[in-house]
Structure 1
């Protein structure tokens, strides 16, 4: 828009700016006023874009930028301070992010299971590898004491916290290092190799029932969460390698915001698996009951993704943050 009459533009829209200013100064907002705040914010952001492009008056630009900054802070504060924000995250944003990126983490799940199975099979056929890593005494200690004792060594509550923190750290690394690609693959491979080595030793020594009876109750959900983190990390890497019709910066920013959503949500998923590992895995329940609880937890997770997540996507959610909170980015590029 060229040749905008700045005085006429100010006259036409000043009442909207005043209304937004009034809303930002109110100590409390009703639900309707909070919605109006967001609507006015979007309108004024558009006005600022027009002013910057067509009649860049420094004083007016500074005034509108300041007004938008206050409105944005108020909108964020209003939303995140309510249970509605938590509910929206759990029922819309997090499941939508998981569903949107499902092929990445499902591929990671399938690939990881295949790699683990192949490594375990190879180790079972090459006992010399086991003998090179552990002495007979160490193997005996692992098979008859350490593996089972690991799950009951500490008080359940302390163990749950320890497991939760460790797994959250691994998942966080997969996402944080995702932009580099290769570290995610190495991190996953290291964890899979450990699992394959221990599994092959237990199976070779006729303790496969104990191995699967202790791993499956919590491991199904726990490993799925780690593989989800790995898949999301690789998606983050691919976003800047192949950004499509967007700039690399825009593609990486969008993928990063969705990855942050998944990272936050996985903290809760890993909390559940940690509780199962601390209270169910070492319990006196029969093996079928403990494994059944693990299978149920895994099925609940997949239902969460493919029922709630799919419905959230159909309602327009993507796992990204609210568009209203990205308005400053759009304006700054005008």
Structure 2
């Protein structure tokens, strides 16, 4: 098919469709004309895709059809059904697909944290880098525990900070460096704090204050790192799909994770703000953290496994993800 000749023959219709789709008010006759031209342009797009799939023409005509469809049917309004589908299908599917990546990130994080902690607890030069003896004693005896100040303000601060960190971790995944840097610096920081507490004989206090909220909070960080690294890996090894298409699909699906992690971090922030620093027995505080972590993994493995077996990936539905050009192979 001669694409240039085809475009020239259809140019007036497409131009008229663009005018009608862009118009804020239309008469009854113009509305009927809009529908007819939309149907005609949709047929034209199908012909181009099958006979001469030029990406620029397909993209331009797809955008025109999207505007016309919105003019005919109205823009999509979010509904409770969309929210339910997101929480029960898309999010758990996206989390389930990266479960082993999450486990791998967790293993690397904990290994690095343990190494940093042992180094600070046993090496004088590493201990000295943590501050003067007075500063270290003040941190161990007062500052570490006093940080967990119960209240709404503290919970909100913790939540927004952690949600921002995880979103950045996912968003910078394409670089490969962003997630690794963020995970490594957090692992060294947690490990060094634990090592300092261990050196002064307060390792038990460290775990008591970290465990209630930290089990879910750190798991959220592991998930964010896994999502970011999975995007990077898709860029390196896209598989049978074209690299751009594979990367777009994976990035859309995995940014779903960043949105979902705002919820898990809200829960961990509430635990940190109202449970960790509260007067509850330590056993009860740790139990709250364990229940939250168990609930998260149950959600991922049960709902996520079911969604993935049904063919879900966490990506948008086909009609909202944009148009793609067919490829051979």
Match of 1:231 in 2: 226
Paired residues of 1:202 and 1:211 also in contact (CA < 8 A): yes
Give yes or no for the alignment of 1:150 onto 2:147. yes
Cα distance in 1 for residues equivalent to 2:274 and 2:265: 14
Moved more, 177-186 or 85-94: 177-186
> Partners in 1 of 2:125 and 2:195 — Cα distance?
12
CA contact (8 A) 1:123 1:129 kept: yes
Task: Say if 2:145 and 2:209, in contact at 8 Å, map to a contact too.
Answer: yes
Q: Report the 3-state secondary structure (helix = DSSP H, G, I; strand = E; otherwise coil) of the residue aligned with 1:134.
A: coil
Could you tell me which residue of structure 1 aligns to residue 201 of structure 2?
206
Kindly tell me: are residues 205 and 67 of structure 1, through their superposed partners in 2, closer, same or farther at Cα, counting changes over 3 Å? same
Partner of 2:313: 318
Distance in 2 (alpha carbons) for counterparts of 1:130 and 1:164 = 30
Give 1:198 shift: 0.8
Offset, 1:73: 7.7
1:140 aligns with 2:137: yes
Q: Offset of 1:113 from its aligned partner?
A: 1.3
Residues in 1 aligned to 2:73 and 2:106: alpha-carbon distance in whole angstroms: 38
Residue in 2 that maps onto 1:88: 85
Distance verdict in 2 for CA 1:149–1:43, change over 3 Å: farther
Q: CA deviation at 1:102?
A: 1.5
Mapped to 1, the partners of 2:299 and 2:187 lie a distance apart of 26
The Cα offsets for residues 235-286 of structure 1, whole Å up to 9 and x where unpaired, read as 1111111111122211211111012111111111111110110001001110
SS at match of 2:67: helix
Structure 1: distance between partners of 2:207 and 2:52: 70
Distance 1:68 1:304, change over 3 A: same
Partner SS for 2:128? helix
Task: Write out per-residue CA displacement over residues 133-172 of structure 1, whole angstroms, 9 at most, x where no aligned residue.
Answer: 31110011101110000001xx611111100111011111
Distance 1:140 1:42 in 2: 75
Check if 1:196 corresponds to 2:191. Answer: yes
Q: Report the TM-score, using the length of structure 2 for normalisation.
A: 0.80
In the TM superposition, what is the alpha-carbon distance from 1:124 to its structure 2 partner?
2.1
Give the TM-score normalised by structure 1: 0.79
RMSD (Å), alpha carbons = 3.2
Name the SS for the 1:50 alignment partner.
helix
Q: Is the 8 A contact 1:44 1:64 kept in 2?
A: no
> How many residue pairs align between the two structures?
294
Tell me which residue corresponds to 2:235: 240
Give the match for residue 179 of structure 1: 174
Instruction: Please state whether the residue corresponding to 1:151 is helix, strand or coil.
Output: coil
Structure 1 residue 52, shift from structure 2 partner: 5.9
Residues in 1 aligned to 2:79 and 2:144: alpha-carbon distance in whole angstroms: 44
